[in-house]
Chain A
Amino acid sequence: MRCLTHYPTWHAIVSVSRQRSRKWFNICRWVVGHGDMRLGISSGCDVGIGLLRTRRSTGGGLEKKLRGSRSCSRSHKDCPCISWSSLPSTPRLELGYSTVLANATKHNPVLTMSEVIEALHVYDENNRPILSHVYTGRPLSAQQLLPLYSNHPQPRPSLIYLPNTSPPTLVFSLIHSNLLFLLTSSSEIEPLLALEFLHRIIDVLEEFVGSPLLAHKVESSYDVIAQLLNEMCDSGAVSTTEPNALRDLVEVEGWIGKLLGGITIPGKAGFSTSSSSNMSGISSATALAANTPALPWRRANVRHTSNELYVDIVETLSVTLAPSGRPLAAFANGTIAFTSKISGVPDLLLNLSTPSGKQNINSVMELPVFHPCVRLARWKEKPGELSFVPPDGRFVLAGYEVDLLPFQSGQGISANTSSLKLPVQVEIKTNLGPTGSDFEVKLLITKVSGQGNSSISGSSSRSNAGGRAGSGFGGLGMHAGTSSTPTLEDLVVSIPLPDGVRNLSEIRPSRGDTTYNPGGTNLEWHIPAKEAVAGGANLRCTVAGPLTDEEDFEGNGFRLDGKYDYDEDAYQSTPAQSEKVDKPDEHSDARKIEQNKILMPSTASVSFSVKGWLASGIKVESLVIDMRKSRGVGEGVRPYKGVKYLTISRKGVEARC
């Protein structure tokens, strides 16, 4: 207050205006330097600066001036308010609007703390918090957070901002196998960083705790999870997320685990007992002592008794068909998942090709992304060759997309519309029948030819999808499709219905069965694998609209008519009257057709999966271990190799009408 004595008549009223925040801030700092007026700053508030001479004579004028200034656009409760606690002598001005104010803390050095993750919460399917790990700061607790999150109307976006909490919080959410994961931060953070981190957490937990991730699995392995979470993020800064590196750091199954009665981690990739036995306890420490693991993604001293290599190529379809049946867009989003269980440090070379040969693989596999282990230079030089030292266990090697309609992207390849070959073609027709209340979905199932002979050049050539089923990897039943005879499975057509539909009075599928709840907004038509043989199938439904609405409408119509009866206009006189006698049916039919138009579904989407077939036709030519570059693989090791192709559509083929 020393300074104030020099300027006994000056005090500051601080109200905040956008343009002047800097000036305002300077005043605040000055005030902080001289008194203990408390300042609370909140962004987003309008600021206007007024310097107020507290002589009563001028006070009134200023008051007026302030009244004239722009008021805060936000609601008052959000506004920080200026309180004048430290200025008792100030004549109190009645400010009818956002008087923003200085609430007073000694100006503490506020730390930036940017890009910091503050806490992770996990809830089970009943919204019971089962895990909350606080990294830094003083975030909201799991119980406080959940209602705020659920208050947000569904569907909830992955990033929700809670401006009214203290501190204002960013919540990132992800739902995975019925568990809800929330990540919070109270300051600016790259949202993709947070989300990618969440995905990594889930990946790592699945790998260590076993997939699928279930609430009691989480609850029974808190010790492991605590270590994992602690390693993955060091007081807010993401650090080690590579599963291999984490396996070096976190003991899953040490001696103590064995003593406690061998809690078997469900046999996921890389967790065969043979591999974990030699990494427990001190051995991992020595691995670290050996210093810098040359490859951050591969753990040291990998040893397997049986050496295996699996390639899974999964393509997810995303096709949009115009009402005419012409495809508007058709993409296959491919992912190459890889499982490596090989001792030492193997150096692998995976060769991919397309039906039309290897040279144009670059134009087929567009916009690829790779695991860090892939040597990009090699791919650039020789497209289709992936050279890499794999992490131990299961990982995603690459992702790509294939435009199944290459002519559209303007490259002028032959404009062959029928180039799109799908195992299922779908068509939807609406407004059928006398009153236009029917719609029909037609399916045409065609046989696709498989990926051909998928044998891999290398030690064991008898390796196709069927062969792999026996190895206990993944959940492939023996009946699963093989590359030579791909089969169509899980064929489901789902048809979203408009809100106005009260019921489907008739549902007639030619094969398969349907599920629909009266009043529901979704009709599903399942065709079991047995019945999904080549040929056509159709589904015809009749909709029933809302009852009340219909009556209303009739009334409305009559009212209109009546209105015009009184009207002495020429155009609504006698002829209309005479027509009324013989044409009511037609009239009401036309009306009904119009009405039913609103009740018609506008799309039908098909889900299915085909094993042994890829929409893009990409094939694994070969997978070899480069023995010269590899280390410690062992003489004469001939790993078992397998390839699996899978094309999946999850409501991915969408027909419009």
Chain B
Amino acid sequence: MESISRITSLLESARELTLDAAQSARNSRGSTKIIPASQIKKLLDSRNDREVLDGLRKVISLMYHSQPCLTYFSSVVKNVASPNIEIKKLVYIYLLNHAEQEPDLALLSINTIQKSLSDGNPQVRALALKTMSGIRVTVISQIVSLAIKKGLGDMSPYVRKAAALAIPKCYRLDPNTMPQLLDYLSTLLGDKQYYVAGAAVKAFMEICPERPDLIHKHYRGLVKKLVDMDEWSQLVTLRLMTIYSRKCFPKRTRIVKTKSKKNGTHGFYGDEGSEGEEGTETGEEVQDLDPDLELLLKSIRPLLQSRNSAVVVAVTRCYINLGTQEYISSSIGPLVALLRGPQDIQHIALYNIVSVCLTRPEAFVKYSSHFLVRSTDPPQVWELKLEILTLIFPHSEAYLKILILNELEHFSRGSDKDLVREAVRAIGRCAQSDAGTSARCLSLLLKQITSLDGNLVAESLTVIRHLIQQDPTPHIGTVIRLAKNLDTATNPRARASIIWLVGEFSGIDGENNIAPDVLRILAKGFADEAEAAKLQIVLLAAKVYLHHLNRTESTEPVKPVLSPTPSYLPSMGNEGFAEMDGAADDVYQPKDVEPEHPIVVLWNYVLLLARYDTSYDLRDRTRLYKALLAVPSSTQLASLMLLAPKPVPHTPSPSESRTGFTLGSSSLVVGEDGGLHGLRGYEALPNWVEAGKEPDPSLRDSDLSKAEYDDRRIVPAGERLDSVVKDTKTGQPSTINGFGATGAGPAKEKTLDDWLKESDAEEESDDEEESDEESEDDEEEESSEEASESAEEEEDESDDDDKEHDRLVK
């Protein structure tokens, strides 16, 4: 939803705004003027409330300008006792910001603040509690804890809310107050007022998210209050509920035989395309929802119409991780509706949409027109939009496919280089994902290669090359067509791509191949080529020569076995290049008993050209090929290296690397830059609890809660402490934050071996996770593997590297 300020700016004309600006310029109070410190001090020390307030205002402006204002600390703080609430507020604000620097002086004010805790005005009480907990001086942690305790029983929910919010602050001051805080927390979680409960959930999530046992008895209450809470509490409660549900409701599925039904009514999940089809064969897997889980899923449904985009995403996250298909599909529309928002929200929403779209592209098909790229979109937005278009492409109907391709074609002809590149790559991904249209995509790309825009040509060719590699046989004609374009193509990358492709096809049809002819023409212009193209020319020459060798070898099978190298003695024939070459390097001896075959001549010529090139890389490679092909009789090694079947390049969708991150998190947006395990503080959702290991559902019964609640209260502190320690001990050692530390205490007795044993066991249980990661790694390493398999993949490899680099940068 648009914010009111944006709507207002739409409604008001520019003239009005300038008037307003001028007016406010006149009205400006000039508080930016520098006032001597002594004068401020005098104002602060005044007995007149008005002057004190004035002085405080000045101090606050200094503070906001990040100018030093510690000098006024004592003068400001002594006003804390003022009965005037406005003065109090400003003093509190000052204290919150500066108490840390002057802990001793700050302590002097604690007493007064403590008195305010019993003020008649709830606002004053709440403020006092808030300020006291916000002062970052460790020694007062016990006082804060007491103040919170007092706040718990306050009549005003406003004060109780402040108490709830003070809990995490107190914990940050001194983690040892934990047991008391947990006690307070369990009271507050059950508060009847939704905004107190909301604040309590916030505190819970911060200090002890791994204690679902505290939630059980409040679960249903919280779910019911959820809709009434303010948006920020809804967010945190949704987060809690998603984690809680994963921990407490085992995923139960039952197989429903839908075979007979499917034919008639198309079943309950009629709209889910592919999954439904699977169902006809195996029987459909239907998730059995726990009634409590269903209660949650049902009651958060209205939140899909929340004005807060974060809430919509949080509900979607909840549905996707917990709910059934029915719930998930209801959340798709609202998710797409986030694109109406301002650009910043749009951008983040798109990341979330892409993340959902990667697993459920078919749900987004009907919203495809929302993802058309507009000329006003910034790069980060159109990039994601193009990705979504390519993701939904294979699932859409014919007319939509044409629409998407037209769209991509349009942008591939644009003037923005990055956009052109992305659009062409997107066409490539479309072709890759949907075999039916790949011919059309290819013709689309082939149209582009005659363009004068070198950038577009190069990009198209790279994609064409990938497409051809995927299915080489029908594309021999295409390669010939491309080779013809060598006359006009000027972009080195484009030329290199074409030459490489010609080289790949040089083995087909024996003598009738175009490759030697292409090489002949290229050799003429060798000196004017760019380095990338030269590298490929040399590679092409090597391939052509190798094929030639292989052919001659198969026609005269006896010769190589009987006569190894010595039979090719350097003979100073009529071949000038060979002569020079032979002289320079006696490893290679051309056979020239009969007039040289033109290919051999060509090969020698190219070797010679490359030998005197300025690029050492080129010279090195040439030497490598030369050595490889030095002995015409033994071409196995060369064949292995040069003619190895190339792995089919598969371009993953750019966002695929981030799919592991939870929907709605910053880690999802930041992606790999934030580290493999997400940003600091990021925790993935827990896995579903195994059936049988979940807590007893009766714990959530509300009538029980009273009795249990009382029981808990009588538990002696010592026992409670024990249980806390026990809990944390069993907690996963991987939790870097929070309780991990407490766990380290008892662990002191352990030896390293013990730890290792433990970690081994854990690793086993984590194998699944790891293999996932590994497979990701494999994908990343694809390019380097290619390199080791076939030495000539250089061009390709560097391309991939580029891509990967791009992704990292993003």
A401-B337 in contact (CB<8A): yes
Smallest distance from the beta carbon of A350 to chain B beta carbons, Å? 16
A320-B372 in contact (CB<8A): yes
| Sample (29) of A-B pairs whose CB atoms are under 8 Å apart | A19-B770, A26-B733, A43-B677, A115-B205, A130-B65, A161-B673, A189-B666, A192-B309, A192-B664, A212-B21, A214-B24, A222-B64, A226-B93, A230-B96, A240-B230, A256-B50, A263-B29, A289-B121, A289-B122, A322-B406, A331-B370, A372-B306, A396-B4, A475-B16, A496-B415, A497-B415, A498-B415, A602-B413, A646-B10
Q: Does B679 contact A (CB under 8 A)?
A: yes
Other-chain residue from A190, A206, A603 in contact with B664 (beta carbon distance below 8 A): A190
Q: Does B263 contact A (CB under 8 A)?
A: no
Q: How far is the CA of A369 from the CA of B738 in the complex (A)?
A: 37
Q: Which stretch (A5-13, A89-97, A341-349, A446-454) binds chain B? A: A5-13
Other-chain residue from A190, A219, A288, A367 in contact with B156 (beta carbon distance below 8 A): A288
Q: How far is the CA of A335 from the CA of B742 in the complex (A)?
A: 51
A190-B666 in contact (CB<8A): yes
Q: Which stretch (A166-174, A418-426, A530-538, A573-581) binds chain B? A: A166-174
Q: Does A134 contact B (CB under 8 A)?
A: yes
Q: Which stretch (B54-62, B499-507, B534-542, B561-569) binds chain A? A: B54-62
B734-A157 in contact (CB<8A): no
Q: Does B762 contact A (CB under 8 A)?
A: yes
Indicate with 1 or 0, residue by residue over A87-111, a CB within 8 angstroms of chain B CB atoms.
Answer: 0000000000000000000011111
**4 closest A-B pairs (Cβ-Cβ)?**
A44-B675, A498-B415, A187-B681, A158-B344
Q: How far is the CA of A159 from the CA of B17 in the complex (A)?
A: 29
Smallest distance from the beta carbon of B765 to chain A beta carbons, Å? 10
A210-B24 in contact (CB<8A): yes
Q: With contacts A19-B773, A112-B206, A114-B206 known, is A263 near B27, CB below 8 A? A: yes
Q: How far is the CA of A560 from the CA of B486 in the complex (A)?
A: 12
B736-A41 in contact (CB<8A): yes
Q: How far is the CA of A478 from the CA of B453 in the complex (A)?
A: 52
A329-B165 in contact (CB<8A): no
Smallest distance from the beta carbon of B159 to chain A beta carbons, Å? 10
A196-B742 in contact (CB<8A): no
A211-B5 in contact (CB<8A): yes
Other-chain residue from A112, A192, A312 in contact with B349 (beta carbon distance below 8 A): A192
Q: Does B11 contact A (CB under 8 A)?
A: yes
Q: Does A499 contact B (CB under 8 A)?
A: yes
Q: Does B249 contact A (CB under 8 A)?
A: no
Q: Does B700 contact A (CB under 8 A)?
A: no
Count, chain B residues at interface, CB 8 A:
168
Q: Does B593 contact A (CB under 8 A)?
A: no
Q: With contacts A214-B21, A266-B23, A598-B415 known, is A188 near B666, CB below 8 A? A: yes
Q: Does B436 contact A (CB under 8 A)?
A: no
A220-B9 in contact (CB<8A): no
B121-A26 in contact (CB<8A): no
Q: Which stretch (B290-298, B427-435, B628-636, B753-761) binds chain A? A: B753-761
Indicate with 1 or 0, residue by residue over B371-387, a CB within 8 angstroms of chain A CB atoms.
Answer: 01011101110000000
Q: How far is the CA of A597 from the CA of B169 in the complex (A)?
A: 64
Q: With contacts A110-B737, A256-B86, A477-B13 known, is A141 near B379, CB below 8 A? A: no
A216-B25 in contact (CB<8A): yes
Q: Does A132 contact B (CB under 8 A)?
A: yes
> Which residues of chain A have C-beta atoms less than 8 A from B739's C-beta?
109
Q: With contacts A288-B123, A595-B452 known, is A646 near B11, CB below 8 A? A: yes
B57-A223 in contact (CB<8A): yes
What residue in chain B is nearest A250 (Cβ atoms)?
A: B89
B307-A475 in contact (CB<8A): no
B410-A26 in contact (CB<8A): no
B64-A109 in contact (CB<8A): no
A112-B738 in contact (CB<8A): yes
Interface positions, chain A 315-349, Cβ under 8 Å from B, are: 316, 318, 320, 322, 328-329, 331, 333, 335, 337
Other-chain residue from B54, B157, B345 in contact with A292 (beta carbon distance below 8 A): B157
Q: Which stretch (A27-35, A52-60, A455-463, A620-628) binds chain B? A: A27-35
> Which residues of chain A have C-beta atoms less than 8 A from B343's C-beta?
158
B375-A367 in contact (CB<8A): no
> Which residues of chain A have C-beta atoms less than 8 A from B232's C-beta?
193, 197, 237-239, 241
What residue in chain A is nearest B456 (Cβ atoms)?
A: A598
> Which residues of chain A have C-beta atoms less than 8 A from B305's C-beta?
368-370, 376
B306-A369 in contact (CB<8A): yes
Q: Does B394 contact A (CB under 8 A)?
A: no
Q: How far is the CA of A602 from the CA of B669 in the complex (A)?
A: 31
B345-A291 in contact (CB<8A): no
Q: How far is the CA of A331 from the CA of B374 in the complex (A)?
A: 13
> Which residues of chain B have C-beta atoms less than 8 A from A335's C-beta?
1-2, 7
Interface positions, chain B 222-250, Cβ under 8 Å from A, are: 230-232, 235-236, 239
B9-A177 in contact (CB<8A): yes
Indicate with 1 or 0, residue by residue over B301-335, a CB within 8 angstroms of chain A CB atoms.
Answer: 01001111110111000000000000000000110
Interface positions, chain A 331-390, Cβ under 8 Å from B, are: 331, 333, 335, 337, 366-372, 376
B452-A6 in contact (CB<8A): no
Q: Does B70 contact A (CB under 8 A)?
A: no
Q: Does B217 contact A (CB under 8 A)?
A: no
B310-A192 in contact (CB<8A): yes
Q: Does B395 contact A (CB under 8 A)?
A: no
Q: Does A509 contact B (CB under 8 A)?
A: no
What residue in chain A is nearest B159 (Cβ atoms)?
A: A288
Smallest distance from the beta carbon of A598 to chain B beta carbons, Å? 6
Interface of A, helix, strand, loop or mixed by DSSP: mixed
A187-B66 in contact (CB<8A): no
> Which residues of chain B have C-beta atoms less than 8 A from A143's C-beta?
66
Q: Does B641 contact A (CB under 8 A)?
A: no
Q: How far is the CA of A111 from the CA of B737 in the complex (A)?
A: 6
> Which residues of chain B have C-beta atoms less than 8 A from A498's C-beta?
415
> Which residues of chain B have C-beta atoms less than 8 A from A141's C-beta?
66
What residue in chain B is nearest A521 (Cβ atoms)?
A: B415
A230-B93 in contact (CB<8A): yes
What residue in chain A is nearest B376 (Cβ atoms)?
A: A651
What residue in chain A is nearest B780 (Cβ atoms)?
A: A73
Interface positions, chain A 470-526, Cβ under 8 Å from B, are: 474-475, 477, 496-500
Q: How far is the CA of A230 from the CA of B90 in the complex (A)?
A: 10
What residue in chain A is nearest B751 (Cβ atoms)?
A: A3
Q: With contacts A43-B675, A196-B310, A210-B24 known, is A288 near B158, CB below 8 A? A: yes
Q: Does B340 contact A (CB under 8 A)?
A: yes
Q: Does A285 contact B (CB under 8 A)?
A: yes
Q: With contacts A130-B65, A475-B11 known, is A113 near B733, CB below 8 A? A: no
Q: Does A656 contact B (CB under 8 A)?
A: yes
Q: Does A242 contact B (CB under 8 A)?
A: yes
Given A27-B755, A187-B680, A211-B8, 9 new contacts (CB under 8 A)? A23-B756, A25-B736, A111-B206, A237-B202, A256-B53, A337-B11, A369-B312, A372-B306, A560-B487
> Which residues of chain A have C-beta atoms less than 8 A from B730's C-beta?
none
Smallest distance from the beta carbon of B758 to chain A beta carbons, Å? 7
Smallest distance from the beta carbon of B607 to chain A beta carbons, Å? 23
Smallest distance from the beta carbon of B634 to chain A beta carbons, Å? 31
> Which residues of chain B have C-beta atoms less than 8 A from A190's C-beta?
235, 310, 313-314, 664-666
Q: With contacts A44-B674, A193-B232, A335-B7 known, is A26 near B756, CB below 8 A? A: yes
Q: Does B299 contact A (CB under 8 A)?
A: no
> Which residues of chain A have C-beta atoms less than 8 A from B710's C-beta?
none
Q: Does B515 contact A (CB under 8 A)?
A: no
Q: Does A227 contact B (CB under 8 A)?
A: yes
> Which residues of chain A have C-beta atoms less than 8 A from B378's C-beta?
155, 157
> Which residues of chain B have C-beta atoms less than 8 A from A172's C-beta?
344
Q: How far is the CA of A623 from the CA of B247 in the complex (A)?
A: 48
A192-B66 in contact (CB<8A): no
Q: Does B336 contact A (CB under 8 A)?
A: yes
Smallest distance from the beta carbon of A252 to chain B beta carbons, Å? 11
Interface positions, chain B 704-733, Cβ under 8 Å from A, are: 733
Q: Does B611 contact A (CB under 8 A)?
A: no
Q: How far is the CA of A206 from the CA of B677 in the complex (A)?
A: 40
Indicate with 1 or 0, residue by residue over A128-150, a CB within 8 angstroms of chain B CB atoms.
Answer: 01111110000001110000000
